[in-house]
């Protein structure tokens, strides 16, 4: 394990001048007092919950000093001192987040959508275009799940490796300067027990990327002491086998004490220099840290820490030790430090009060408007007494929130239901205007609202002519990816078996040899960090396709997709984007773990992503072309049994696009509509042909994308014509088939056009059994479709279609 050694005094070395040290002292005190005051605000009822970074101040100051313009952070909810030190978080903004202020100018990290301690810089301009990331400090948007910040850290660092090694990226100086950027990660000691941490460590050691992971070690994980978390009670000792040697690549590992100001500065500058110059990952284990206020406002650490431990924490508090260091070094007198602390306390109080005033001002104005309108409506109402009481109770609300106002207005409108005066109309109009404002405050930006949103990408139809040859579906994709690698330097692909053999189904066959390992790459078996690798590189302006070999294995990476990627634009209110494309394959093949179609799970957990379900590889190629012009994350689920089926090769491959949210009518009919997608399209089309021979004309619709879903109402128009509908897929009962039914019945107003009960066809509720027989008896067959459609027609017209 490396010792912390002073580095030469140059532009990349710590600055221990009097001015620099006192500036750090001010920042440390500012952060500490923000933590102390923040806890009081929660207990006063002005905020719901608080989690703070007290005890970690000195280490974060050191990290901030070594952090350079263009670098990226992927940390967690205790990094407030770091964000303050790099100038990306003011105390006022800190409290605005604590209060959940929904104005993005007041709270730029999340516009009040995240609990306090979740930090982010805004990578995008207001129109959704990229800022010059190389001219700013960058922080990826934080998430709460422990260790879940690690996988995207790998991707942020890997992007630097791509920018340095891929000559085609040299001109994108707004995104990188020759890959010199370091990705800095932070994590608590207990969270290093998570698999996401170990997977990231292993992948970074293999890949050799410029990444610095800092472990803030205060010897506990909430109430659980270190010996229950980590082998040998020390993460740096536990992973010592990852340390690099003269002959073997690996990690540089540094251990340093959290109260040692000079030691911390030297450690972080050493780490940054190694990562930046050599593209070697570094782990800094910061020990002997404290947590003066305990884990959060939900409890007290006095319940689980011994008297001896609490006494030690008070004595070895990093700010107390910092003060001792300043005094012993004769940098400042006690009186000077006392004066600085008094000034900081006053400033924190002032900024806190300003944040509260700005937060409450808007709500109080809305409350006053609502109060006046309710009182006015009450004047001519038969329910005057009740309405007046509502208004008066609202006006007396202590520390009102927006819910208090809107809830009262809605109750008032309900109370006025028998009145028809103008004041009622005025109140309703006010409420409607507030609905629009509150949608923007709390519900907007689940999907991109820029001109690059998927619904804004222009459709270009595939062209076929007499020269269009029939080739395997896999060859369509191979030719598409070849075209895209040639024409888009930001595009690259990686995953298990993607590189040398060109993926298990050969869609990248020969492309690594043609374009190099940085463009078409193999990875180890590690789905969570494959996803993270994609998220991090997409956050830096690149266009990755990350492959999850089979849809069933998506579960390994589902947390990252759900908690990080899918909600990224939402939780930053359009401040960050990561247009990662997940490529996978599923539906029919053989057996329990290679023929899954868990679409209900995907639809429930990945709102905020585009979900593409192409029926063949021609459609898949067009979907990739659309997505690469858009700025939204997506998953493309190719048909596992379709790679060797013959398809016509379009003459404009690489140029045509498939519109998102627009179903495709595969077969027209007047008797019944069957809505499906993916591999089921072939099953339903075969069944429709058989039904045609029986005199039943089926209209077959391929939805193409499940998110977004039929934004033009094409399915509804079909049902208005046929008056009957079946939703068919190979998910479990109540999965995607039920989702499709809900989308159509509730959003397209077709119920009154139905002459028969709407139906679903799905797989059996168990995993599919092995073999062709297992497939037949587990998933919908042609005969299942025929019999279900026939039954609907039998009930409608038993004379023409007698009971079987």
Residue 645 near residue 741, CB atoms below 8 Å: no
**Rounded CA separation 156/210 (Å):** 9
User: What b-and-e string marks burial along 246-277, b requiring 16 or more CB atoms within 10 Å of the CB?
Assistant: eeeebbbbbbbbbbbbbbbbbbbbbbbbbbbe
In the set 527, 638, 647, 730, the catalytic residue is 527
3-class DSSP assignment, residue 649: coil
Give the CA-trace dihedral at 56, 57, 59, 63, to 10 degrees. 120
Residue 737 near residue 709, CB atoms below 8 Å: no
Beta strands in 536-621 (DSSP E): 543-547, 581-586, 610-612
In the set 594, 638, 647, 699, the catalytic residue is 594
Our answer to whether residue 527 is catalytic in this structure is yes
> How many CB atoms neighbour CB 477 within 10 A?
25
Residue 115 near residue 101, CB atoms below 8 Å: no
Distances (CA, A) of 502 to 211, 444, 522: 28, 40, 9
**Rounded CA separation 235/272 (Å):** 20
593 Cα distance to chain centroid: 26
> How many CB atoms neighbour CB 738 within 10 A?
18
Our answer to whether residue 587 is catalytic in this structure is no
> Scanning the structure block, which residue is given the tokens 């998910």?
731
3-class DSSP assignment, residue 101: coil
- Cα first-last separation, the chain: 78
Cis amide leading into 708 (omega within 30): yes
**Rounded CA separation 380/20 (Å):** 68
- Alpha helices (H) along 416-553: 422-442, 473-487, 511-515, 527-539
**Rounded CA separation 703/378 (Å):** 50
> How many CB atoms neighbour CB 315 within 10 A?
11
Please give the positions annotated as active site. 527, 594
């Amino acid at each position: 394990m490396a010792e912390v050694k002073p580095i030469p005094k140059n532009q990349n070395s710590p600055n221990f001048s009097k001015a620099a040290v006192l500036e750090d002292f001010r920042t440390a005190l500012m952060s500490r007092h923000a933590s102390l005051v923040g806890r009081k605000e929660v207990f006063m009822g002005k905020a719901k919950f608080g989690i703070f970074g007290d005890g970690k101040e000195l280490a974060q100051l050191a990290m901030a000093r070594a952090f350079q313009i263009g670098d990226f952070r992927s940390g967690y909810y205790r990094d407030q001192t770091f964000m303050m030190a790099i100038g990306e978080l003011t105390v006022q903004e800190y409290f605005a987040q604590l209060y959940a202020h929904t104005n993005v100018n007041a709270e730029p990290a999340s516009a009040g959508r995240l609990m306090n301690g979740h930090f982010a810089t805004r990578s995008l301009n207001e129109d959704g275009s990229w800022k010059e990331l190389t001219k700013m400090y960058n922080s990826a948007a934080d998430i709460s799940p422990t260790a879940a910040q690690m996988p995207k850290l790998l991707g942020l660092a890997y992007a630097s490796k791509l920018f340095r090694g891929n000559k085609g990226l040299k001109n994108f100086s707004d995104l990188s300067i020759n890959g010199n950027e370091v990705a800095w990660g932070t994590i608590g000691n207990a969270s290093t027990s998570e698999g996401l941490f170990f997977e990231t460590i292993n992948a970074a050691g293999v890949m050799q990327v410029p990444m610095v992971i800092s472990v803030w070690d205060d010897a506990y994980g909430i109430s659980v002491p270190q010996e229950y978390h980590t082998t040998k009670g020390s993460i740096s000792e536990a992973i010592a086998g990852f340390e690099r040697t003269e002959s073997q690549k690996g990690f540089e590992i540094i251990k340093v004490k959290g109260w040692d100001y000079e030691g911390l500065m030297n450690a972080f500058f050493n780490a940054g220099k190694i990562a930046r110059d050599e593209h070697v990952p570094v782990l800094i284990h910061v020990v002997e840290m404290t947590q003066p206020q305990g884990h959060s406002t939900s409890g007290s650490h006095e319940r689980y820490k011994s008297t001896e431990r609490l006494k030690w924490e008070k004595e070895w508090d990093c700010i107390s030790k910092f003060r001792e260091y300043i005094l012993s070094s004769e940098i400042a007198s006690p009186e000077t430090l006392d004066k600085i602390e008094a000034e900081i306390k006053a400033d924190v109080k002032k900024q806190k009060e300003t944040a509260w005033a700005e937060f409450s001002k808007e709500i109080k104005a809305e409350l006053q408007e609502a109060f006046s309108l309710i009182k006015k409506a009450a004047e001519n109402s038969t329910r005057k007494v009740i309405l007046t009481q509502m208004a008066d109770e609202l006006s007396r609300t202590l520390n009102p929130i927006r819910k208090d106002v809107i809830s009262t207005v809605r109750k008032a409108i309900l109370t006025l239901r028998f009145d028809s005066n103008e004041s009622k109309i005025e109140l309703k109009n006010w409420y409607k205007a507030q609905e629009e404002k509150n949608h923007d405050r709390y519900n907007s930006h689940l999907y991109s609202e820029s001109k690059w949103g998927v619904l804004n990408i222009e459709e270009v139809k595939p062209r076929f002519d007499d020269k269009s040859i029939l080739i395997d579906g896999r060859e369509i994709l191979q030719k598409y990816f070849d075209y895209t690698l040639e024409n888009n330097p930001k595009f690259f692909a990686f995953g298990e078996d993607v590189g040398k053999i060109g993926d298990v189904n050969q869609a990248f066959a020969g492309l690594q040899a043609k374009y190099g390992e940085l463009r078409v790459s193999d990875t180890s078996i590690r789905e969570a960090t494959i996803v993270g690798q994609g998220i991090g590189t997409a956050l830096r302006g690149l266009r990755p396709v990350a492959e999850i070999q089979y849809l069933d294995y998506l579960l390994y990476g589902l947390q990252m997709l759900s908690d990080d990627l899918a909600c990224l634009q939402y939780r930053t209110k359009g401040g960050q984007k990561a247009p990662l494309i997940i490529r996978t394959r599923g539906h029919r093949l053989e057996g329990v773990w290679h023929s899954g179609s868990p679409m209900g799970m995907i639809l429930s957990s990945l709102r905020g992503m585009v979900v593409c379900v192409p029926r063949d590889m021609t459609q898949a190629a067009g979907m990739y072309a659309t997505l690469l012009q858009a700025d939204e994350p997506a998953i493309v689920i190719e048909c596992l049994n379709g790679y060797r089926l013959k398809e016509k090769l379009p003459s404009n491959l690489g140029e045509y696009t498939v519109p998102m949210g627009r179903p495709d009518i595969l077969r027209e009919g007047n008797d019944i509509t069957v809505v499906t997608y993916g591999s089921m399209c072939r099953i339903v089309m075969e069944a429709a042909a058989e039904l045609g021979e029986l005199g039943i004309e089926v209209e077959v619709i391929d939805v193409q994308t499940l998110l977004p879903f039929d934004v033009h109402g094409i399915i509804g128009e079909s049902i208005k014509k046929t008056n009957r509908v079946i939703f068919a897929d190979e998910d479990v009962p109540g999965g995607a088939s039920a989702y499709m039914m809900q989308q159509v019945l509730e959003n397209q107003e077709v119920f009154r056009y139905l002459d028969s009960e709407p139906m679903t066809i799905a797989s059996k509720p168990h995993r599919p059994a092995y073999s062709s027989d297992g497939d037949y008896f587990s998933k919908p067959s042609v005969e299942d479709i025929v019999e279900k459609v026939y039954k609907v027609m039998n009930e409608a017209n038993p004379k023409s279609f007698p009971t079987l």
